[in-house]
Amino acid sequence: MAIKGSLNSNFRKVLAVCPPPALKQTQPGTLLSQKKYTLSGSWAAQKARERQKEERIKTGVKLTGFFQVMDHKTGWEGMEPIKRTELVDVDGIPLLKNTADNWQRLWAFKARPDDLLICTYPKAGTTWIQEIVSMIQHRGDPQKCDQAPIHQRIPFIDLFPPKPFPHGLDEAEVMPSPRTLKSHLPVPLLPPSFWEQNCKIIYVARNAKDNAVSYFHFHRMNKGMPEPGNWDEFLENFLMGKIAWGSWFDHVRGWWEAKERYQILYLFYEDMKEQQEKDRKYNSGSQMDPAREIRKVAQFLGLQLPDQVVNQIVQHTMFENMKVNPMTNYSSIPSFIFDQTVSTFMRKGTVGDWKEHFTAAQSEWFDDACLRLLGDSSLVFRTEL
């Protein structure tokens, strides 16, 4: 594993000319209080074990496939309490420690020519596009999608959770073709076989401000992620690229440039959301270009779908429907890992929630960074609709 540490140099330059606003400069009432969730010591470990057991009883028997593992005697009781992880640099890009530990295997992953890869920066709307793709592949039949949670239908190849949770890479390797896979890797870290096989890739990008807010709340609720610190600290790390899967700027830009050379459909969360709102308001057929984003995906996959099927996909993937759907809302992940009482996985699903979190100074700081780091590309993000 070569540790070069060069890719974040842009961000150091930005911070040098564009320092963060003072840490105390926050709007009253917008800063979220932080709780420490790392479980250590015997009391905490005991509590974790009790909660693991409760969860196993609550959810274990109802689910299929992957979660059958949880029914076995060697299920969650044997599991170490989950610990917040550290980050380890791989080629200058911070990854979760378990991902870095498995790096050689991941790098050697053998993509197949008919693989479809869904790639995003974390919290850019991955689950949403996964469900859209899954529905398209199943020709709009929700029952087929409801057979397993989304993370089982589309393995996440760069996530290596602690045992007994299966690794996405293991699942992908035994999966029959054609496979659909998920990754958060930036361009320089994508296993080379994806390029060699010229696989189709769908990338979704989300504006930096909403993406940062969503990632912050995800860190709060997901006990496997590093401690986020408070909002100001998290935001600074986000801008510096000192968070899992690295710099948002490098990520969105790297994939934007790669689409000129490979089969990549580059989508924006904001376009998808705009379309979702239009489709909610009007019956499809009575508006111009209904379900535009879904049709783009179908076309990219070489499929012509009848209007009725497209309509079913529109309805099924509405935020409010995915929020209550156990196959998409991650309620199948036990709460000692995803504590949805802290923040739900399907949190708000909007464009512009950043306004509830950013101070004026932070907003200016971000706008300035976007201008400096994306200004010479043709990449444009909308932060409101």
Q: Which residues are catalytic?
A: 184
Q: Could you tell me the smallest distance in angstroms from the CB atom of residue 309 to ligand A3P?
A: 18
Q: Closest CB to ligand A3P among 92 and 125?
A: 125
Q: What are phi and psi of 264, to 5 degrees?
A: -125, 125
Q: Binders of ligand A3P among 114-153, rule CB under 6 A? A: 120, 122-128
Q: What distance in Å separates the CA atoms of residue 205 and residue 214, rounded to the nearest whole number?
A: 13
Closest approach of ligand A3P to the CB of residue 143, in Å: 19
List the one residue from 180, 183, 317, 362 that touches ligand A3P (CB under 6 A): 317
Question: Residue 98 or residue 344: which is nearer to ligand A3P going by CB?
Answer: 344
> In the complex, what is the shortest distance from the CB of residue 214 to ligand A3P, in angstroms, rounded to a whole number?
3
Q: Which of 190, 202, 337, 346 binds ligand A3P (CB under 6 A)?
A: 346
- The span of 110-118, 219-227, 303-311, 341-349 binding ligand A3P (CB under 6 A) equals 341-349
Beta carbon of residue 217, minimum distance to ligand A3P (angstroms, whole number) = 6
Counting contacts by CB under 6 A, is residue 319 touching ligand A3P?
yes
Please report how close the Cβ of residue 348 comes to ligand A3P at its closest, in angstroms: 4
Best CA proximity match to 245, nearest among 272, 202, 199, 212: 212
Give the residue with the Cβ less far from ligand A3P, 215 or 256.
215
- In whole angstroms, give the CA distance from residue 272 to residue 279: 10
Nearer to ligand A3P, 39 or 204 (CB): 204
Any contact of residue 353 with ligand A3P (CB under 6 A)?
yes
Q: Which of residues 200-239 bind ligand A3P (CB under 6 A)?
A: 210, 214, 217
Count of chain residues binding ligand A3P (CB under 6 A): 21
181 binds ligand A3P (CB under 6 A): no
Closest CA to 124 of 209, 5, 241, 201: 209
SS (H, E, C) 184-245: CCCHHHCCHHHHHCCCEEEEEECCHHHHHHHHHHHHHHECCCCCCCCHHHHHHHHHHCCCCC
Cβ-in-10-Å burial (0-12, 13-18, 19+) of 348 comes to middle
- Residue 292 binds to ligand A3P (criterion: CB under 6 A): no
Please state the closest distance from residue 117 (CB atom) to ligand A3P, in A: 15
- Our CA angle for 330, 331, 334, nearest 5°, is 100
CB of 345 to ligand A3P, least distance (A): 7
Q: Name the residue nearer to ligand A3P (CB basis): 47 or 292.
A: 292
Interacting residue ranges for ligand A3P, rule: CB under 6 A: 120, 122-128, 210, 214, 217, 273, 276, 317, 319, 322, 346-349, 353
